[in-house]
């Protein structure tokens, strides 16, 4: 999401009657949104030797915006991440959300989540959104998460970042609206 990406044009498809599992009405099936969600006891991101975002306990979310993504995808991802019940309750079961435990989110833009290395050894990124499309949608994701009452720290879009996490559990989930992985 944070680098220059050559993207082929995509045909518009009217599939408004198709819904992905758990999607709200009007959320198109063909639009992928991807994230890697890690439960952390702490996480931070540094750009040019300056910490630009840090959280204690919560979630580190690597966010990839696809070429066909829309604002509804950003909203879907934010709601899914905020509501994920991956924190332990009193019985030790993963039954509480980041909001319920008072945790934060460290959001990192990462266009490489759309890397395709099925052919050859150099990944292609044609399914990733161009930066001018990706940045506003990444910003929307962060805004929607904040609107739910979660503190969101961020990296710097298109910057080279050093991300440090302490994965708690470890717990790592892959989210893809089309369930491609």
| 110 catalytic per annotation | yes
Residue among 38, 110, 114, 125 flagged as catalytic: 110
Residue 11 CB contacts under 8 Å (≥ 6 apart), including other chains: none
Instruction: Report the sign of the C-alpha dihedral through residues 104, 74, 113, 177, in that order.
Output: positive
Residue among 112, 135, 151, 172 flagged as catalytic: 112
Q: Helix, strand, coil shares of the chain as percentages rounded to 5?
A: 20, 35, 45
How many Å apart are CA 66 and CA 113, to the nearest integer? 9
Residue among 38, 68, 87, 111 flagged as catalytic: 111
Q: Which of 83, 110, 92 is nearest to 22 (CA)?
A: 83
DSSP conformational letter for 91: T
Q: Is the peptide bond before 170 cis (omega within 30 degrees of 0)?
A: yes
Q: Which residues are catalytic?
A: 110-112
């Amino acid at each position: 999401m944070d680098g220059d990406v050559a993207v082929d044009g995509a045909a518009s498809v009217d599939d408004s009657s198709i819904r992905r599992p758990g999607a709200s009405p009007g959320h198109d099936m063909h639009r992928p949104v991807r994230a890697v969600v890690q439960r952390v006891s702490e996480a931070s991101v540094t750009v040019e030797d300056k910490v630009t975002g840090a959280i204690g306990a919560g979630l580190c979310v690597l966010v990839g915006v696809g070429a066909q993504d829309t604002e509804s995808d950003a909203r879907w991802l934010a709601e899914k991440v905020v509501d994920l019940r991956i924190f332990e309750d009193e019985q030790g079961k993963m039954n509480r959300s980041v909001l319920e435990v008072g945790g934060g989110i460290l959001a990192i833009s990462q266009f490489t989540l759309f890397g395709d290395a099925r052919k050859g050894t150099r990944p292609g990124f044609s399914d990733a959104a161009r930066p001018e499309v990706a940045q506003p949608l990444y910003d929307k994701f962060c805004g929607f998460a904040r609107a739910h009452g979660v503190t969101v720290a961020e990296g710097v879009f298109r910057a080279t970042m050093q991300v440090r996490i302490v994965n708690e559990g470890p717990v790592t989930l892959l989210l893809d609206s089309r369930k491609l992985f």
